[in-house]
Amino acid sequence: MLFDKKNILITGGTGSLGRTLVKRIMDGVLGRPKRIIIFSRDEAKHHRMKLDWKNIKYATDDIFYRNFEEILDFRIGDVRDYESVLSAARDSDIIIHAAALKQVPVCEYFPYEAVKTNILGAQNISRATIELDGKIETVLAISTDKACKPINTYGMCKAIQERIILTANLSCSKTRFICVRYGNVIASTGSVIPLFKQQIKNGGPLTITTRDMTRFFLNLDQAVDTIFEAFKSGKSGETYIPIVPSAKITDLAEIMIGKRDIEISIIGIRPGEKIHEILVSEEESKRTIRRNNYYVICSILPEISQIPITETVLKDEYSSADRLMNKQELENILKEQGHLEF
């Protein structure tokens, strides 16, 4: 069992993905961990997550007493700070690197802040792991569709993050460095479904940047499934991509509006925004294989890649503009996941 009796460090562990990831790990499907270290610089999110974990409604600062004796170990720290990263890594067997500055417009207006979190943070994870020389069994980094053919600061930073993490296999062969890459997670913090729900409650309008916009439809559990699959079968230097359906955002808006008298307003593309999500580029398709229900991009470096590519599974890029769901298929998914109940 991959996680059995292991110490697991999750950077950015108080975010939407981190919270779902912790719950799924605690289910014990991949083994019962010894400890899960929740590493984040946001003390308020730490506090709320700790309350939820203990099923307590209100508490004072004493919630952190005896923190280090419990299976969920909350650590205040910043991936930008090497010393705090190294301190947390020393107590870990597995690292899941989910910390990121990820809001696209924010990264456009504050690009160097994105560099410090998304690039320097990855370098600190890599450096700490290499310094510990084989103590860490696996480092898995969370990437994004925006790292593929990047046009915005966030994507550019994440593309470099992927290279930093995966290239670390050359410097620390005792540790397996792998990545997962996926698009926007529906209904997560900052995504379009919570926005549309709020706009509908306020009487509209629903704001859409362009009528051509498409997105992959991946929920938090599917994101965690991708992480688990990469842990189970990923090889050094590989990047896992979930194979999921996609849809037009105008279809999403119309289904959520239903019979309500609410308008859709086209407001124009935001700084750095892409019209379609691309998870595998045309160039990467030449070194992409399929494993179970996932595409797997093999390392660009021949010293790392362990699988000879004899037959490609993609003839072109893997984009949300392809394989679009019709409105009925999309509505069925929204109903199944409870997104039409508000």
| Residues catalogued as catalytic | 146
**CA 153 to each of CA 90, 99, 158: distance values in angstroms, whole numbers, following the listed order:** 31, 16, 9
SS3 266: strand
3-state SS string for 24-73: HHHCCCCCCCCEEEEEECCHHHHHHHHHHHHCCCCCCHHHHCCHHHCCEE
Pairwise CA distance, residues 4 & 211, whole Å = 47
**Would you call 207 helix, strand, or coil by DSSP?**
strand
Contacting residues for 112 by C-beta, under 8 A, at least 6 apart? none
User: Can you tell me the distance from the alpha carbon of 193 to that of 22, in angstroms, rounded to the nearest whole number?
Assistant: 23
Residue 190 is classified by DSSP as T
The C-alpha angle 168, 170, 174, rounded to 5 degrees, equals 85
The CA–CA distances, whole Å, from 24 to 31, 104, 140, 322, 328 equal 11, 28, 16, 31, 30
Element (H, E) at 275: none
| 263 contacts 270 by C-beta, under 8 angstroms | no
